[in-house]
Amino acid sequence: MTAGHRITIEQGTQRVRVVHGGRVLAQTDRPLVLRETGCPVRYYIPPQDVRLDLLTPSGTQTYCPFKGTASYWSLPDAADLVWAYPDPEPDVAPIKDHLCFYEVEVA
């Protein structure tokens, strides 16, 4: 991490749900909670708790110097709705292959 930039990851126990267009795309009570300087809290969901059958891989990739290269998935009406880091930087290794959505409900 660079000076002033910090990322923490902790095992969460709160229930996290992702609903889009009336369909539940993901639901878990074991999210990884990622806090990063200057960014909103993000919940990374284990792939077993995500309806991967509803998602289509997109060609989009982005690079974060702190987390690595992200791959994205889409719905027919929502491009690049979810992302994951298949080969994250060592400092954030726990998020490997966990999926993150822009909009989540936290209970």
* Superfamily of domain covering 7-106: Domain of unknown function (DUF427) (2.170.150.40)
| Mean predicted lDDT score pLDDT of the chain | 94
Give CA angle at 2 (99, 103), nearest 5°: 25
Ranges of the chain whose pLDDT falls below 70 = 1-2
Single pTM value for the model: 0.93
In the chain the first and final C-alpha atoms are separated, in Å, by 31
Sheet with 105-106, strands from edge to edge, namely: 23-28, 16-20, 105-106
pLDDT score, position 107: 74
